[in-house]
A and B are shown apart, each in its own frame.
Chain A
Amino acid sequence: MQKVFNNKMAIFLFVFPGILLFSLTFLVPIVLSAYYSFRDTLSPGTPSAFIGFANYTELLFHDSRFWLALRNAVLLGLGFILIQHPIAIFFAIMLDRLGGKAEKWFRTIFFIPCVISVVVISKMWLSLLDPTFGAFNKMLDSLGLGMLKHAWLGDSSTALISMLFILIWAGFGWGLLFYYAGLKGIPDDLYEAASLDGASGFRLHWRITVPLLSPVITVQITLAMITALKQMETVFLTTNGGPGDSTQFLAVYLYNKAFSASQYGYANAISILFIIVCLLATYLSNKLTRSDATEF
C-alpha cells in the first residue's frame, strides 16, 4: 500500500498539470500585476517608468473612491448577513417541515434565479427598476403608493440598497440550498428529545437548529463577505459604480481604471490591494466566527 501511495511518477502526473495551469493563469499574473503596480503604465505593452510605491500611496491616502468601494463592500456584506441569511435559514427550516413532493418543488423553484446568466439578471432588473416602464414603479402606482416612485438605480440614495435587493434575489437560492443541506445533517432524534422536554416551535429552532447549523452559518458568513468584496458583474452591467460612486466596488473600479481611464499601472495596484483585502477578510471572518461557534 505504502508503495502505491509513494509512487513519485503518479504524484507528478497528478499534481503537475493542475499546478502548472493554476500557476500560469493565477500566480504568474499576480506577480506580473505586482510588477505593473510599481510602474506608471497607461496600457499593457506601453513603455513605463518605475515609480515605487507612488500608486499605493495615492490609493491609500488620496483616493477616496478606494475607501468608498471598501465601505460599499462591507455594507453589502452586512446586508447579506443580516437580511439574506436569516431569510434563507427561515425558509430552509420551513421547507424541511413541509416535506413531501411540495418540498422538492419549492426548492427547485427557489433556485431558478441562481441558474440565470448575470447579464440577463442585470438587464432584467435594470428594466424592472426603470423609472418609466419598470414594473416596480407601476406596482407602487397600482397600490396607491405613487409618491414612493423612484429612479431606484439612478439615484445615489437608493442605488446601493437596490443593488443589495437584486443580489439577494439572485443569490437567495444558493443560501437556501446550503442551509437546507446543513439541516438535513441534523439527526431527527435531537428534535424528538427536545420536544419531549417541552420545547416547541420557535424555541425549538432557536435552541437546537441554529446552534447545530453554526458550522454552516460560519462558512456562509465568510462567503457572504467574500461575495460582497468580489461584486462586479451585476454592478458593472447596471450602474457601473454610479451614480456618483454610490455603488462603487473594487473590481469595477479597477476594471474602469484599466480599460476606460487608461491607468493600467494604477489599476494593477488596486488589484494587488484587492487580493490583500480578500485574503485578510477570509482570515478575519474565519478567526472571528470560529471562536464563538458553539461546539457540539
Chain B
Amino acid sequence: MTKSTKTILWVFFLIVALVQLFPLIWLIDFSFLSSNEFYSSSVLKWPSDPQWQNYINAWVDGKFLRYFINSAFVTSVTILLTVILSLTLGYAFTRMQWKLRPIFFTIILLGIMIPIHATLLPNFAIFKALGLTNSYLGLILPYTAVSVPLGTFILTGFMRSIPKAMEESAVVDGANIYRIVFQIIAPLTAPALVTVIVTTFLNCWNEFIMASTFLSKDALKTLPFSVMNFAGQYSSDYGSQFAVMVLTSIPAIVIYAIFNEQITKGVTAGAVKG
C-alpha cells in the first residue's frame, strides 16, 4: 500500500472512531453541565462552570462504592467457578472416555442456545422458595450456569488442538489425572481461558435483568443499579445522571484497557481454533 493510501485510510478511521465514540464524548461533556444548560442548542458545550457536584451526587447517591464492591465480589467468584467447571468439563468431554459423554455434551451445549430470559421466571420461583433471592449466591449460581456452556465450548475446541503427547509423557513421569489437568492442560489452554474469563467478566459485570429480578435488598445490589437509582429523586437532574453513567463505565473500560491485548489474542485463538 502506498503512503498516501495509508494516510487516507488513517484519516478515515480517525473520523469513524470519533463518530463511534461521539455518544460517550457527549456523555462525559454533559456530565459537567448543570441541568438547565442541557437545553441549549449546541451539540457539545464547553462547561463554563464544571459541575463537580454532579460527580459527588453520583458517588454518594449512586452508592457507587457499595455496588462496585458487590459487583467485584459476584463477578470474581463467578469467573473462578466458571473457569474451574469449564476446564474440568472440557477435559472430560475431549479426553476422558465414558459412555454418557455425547449426551452430557449436548445438554451443556443447549445452554448456549437457550436464552437466560426463559429461565428467569421459574428461577425466580425456585430462588424465592429456597431463600436465595437477596443473596450473593442467587446471582453467582445463575451467572455461573450461564457462563459454563460457552466456556466449555471454547475450551473443548481449544483442547482438541493440544497434542496428546504432553499428557502421555506426564503419565510416564507418574503424574495423576488431576496434576495433568491443573498443571499441564490449564497453562496450555491459557489463551482460551482468557477468552472465557473476559466473556464471563463482560456478561456478569454488566448484567442487569437477573440482578433486578432476584435482588431487592439495597446492600447487595450491583453496579448497574447505580444508574437506576437516579430514576426517581434525580429524574430531572440530568447532569448527575450522566455523571453516574460515566462513573459506572470507568471500571470496565480500565479493565479492558489493561487486558486489551489478551482479549484480542484470546478471541483470535478461540475463533480460529474453536
Residues of A within 8 A of B (CB): 1-2, 4-8, 10-11, 13-15, 17-19, 21-22, 24-30, 32-33, 36, 44-45, 91, 94-95, 97-98, 102, 106-120, 123-125, 127-128, 132-133, 135, 138-139, 141-142, 169, 172, 177-178, 180-182, 184-185, 216, 226, 229-230, 232-233, 236-237, 250-251, 254-255, 258-259, 264, 267-268, 271-272, 274-275, 278-279, 282
Nearest neighbor of B39 in chain A, beta-carbon distance = A133
Residues of B within 8 A of A (CB): 1, 6, 9-10, 12-13, 16-17, 20-24, 26-27, 30, 38-39, 41-44, 85-86, 88-89, 91-92, 95-98, 104, 107-108, 110-111, 113-115, 117-126, 128-129, 141-142, 144-145, 148-149, 152, 164, 167-168, 171, 176-178, 180-181, 202, 205-206, 208-209, 213, 223-224, 227-228, 238, 241-242, 245, 248-249, 252-253, 255-257, 260, 263-264, 267-268, 270-272
A10 in contact with B178 (CB, 8 Å): yes
Residues from chain B with a CB closer than 8 A to the CB of A13 are 88
Instruction: Known contacts A14-B88, A15-B88, A117-B252; decide if A102 and B272 are in contact (CB<8 Å).
Output: no
A18-B85, A139-B43, A172-B20 known; 16 new pairs, CB 8 Å cut-off, are A1-B167, A10-B177, A18-B152, A24-B141, A28-B126, A29-B123, A112-B24, A115-B202, A119-B227, A127-B238, A133-B39, A178-B271, A181-B268, A185-B272, A233-B208, A264-B121
A118 in contact with B241 (CB, 8 Å): no
Instruction: Known contacts A19-B104, A119-B224; decide if A184 and B26 are in contact (CB<8 Å).
Output: no
Residues from chain B with a CB closer than 8 A to the CB of A216 are 271
Residues from chain A with a CB closer than 8 A to the CB of B43 are 135, 138-139, 142
**Within the complex, which residue of B17, B113, B223 is in contact with A117, where a contact is CB–CB below 8 Å?**
B223
B85 in contact with A17 (CB, 8 Å): yes
Residues from chain A with a CB closer than 8 A to the CB of B39 are 132-133
Residues from chain B with a CB closer than 8 A to the CB of A36 are 121-122, 125
Instruction: Known contacts A98-B10, A113-B20, A181-B267; decide if A229 and B115 are in contact (CB<8 Å).
Output: yes
Shortest distance between the CB of A238 and any CB in chain B (Å): 13
Nearest neighbor of B242 in chain A, beta-carbon distance = A127
Number of interchain pairs (Cβ within 8 Å): 269
Residues from chain A with a CB closer than 8 A to the CB of B260 are 108, 111
Residues from chain B with a CB closer than 8 A to the CB of A32 are 122, 125-126
A26 in contact with B96 (CB, 8 Å): no
A25 in contact with B267 (CB, 8 Å): no
**Within the complex, which residue of A135, A182, A185, A226 is in contact with B26, where a contact is CB–CB below 8 Å?**
A135
B89 in contact with A15 (CB, 8 Å): yes
Residues from chain B with a CB closer than 8 A to the CB of A8 are 98
Question: How far is B26's CA from A125's CA once the two chains are assembled, in angstroms?
Answer: 11
A120 in contact with B122 (CB, 8 Å): no
A22 in contact with B96 (CB, 8 Å): no
A184 in contact with B208 (CB, 8 Å): no
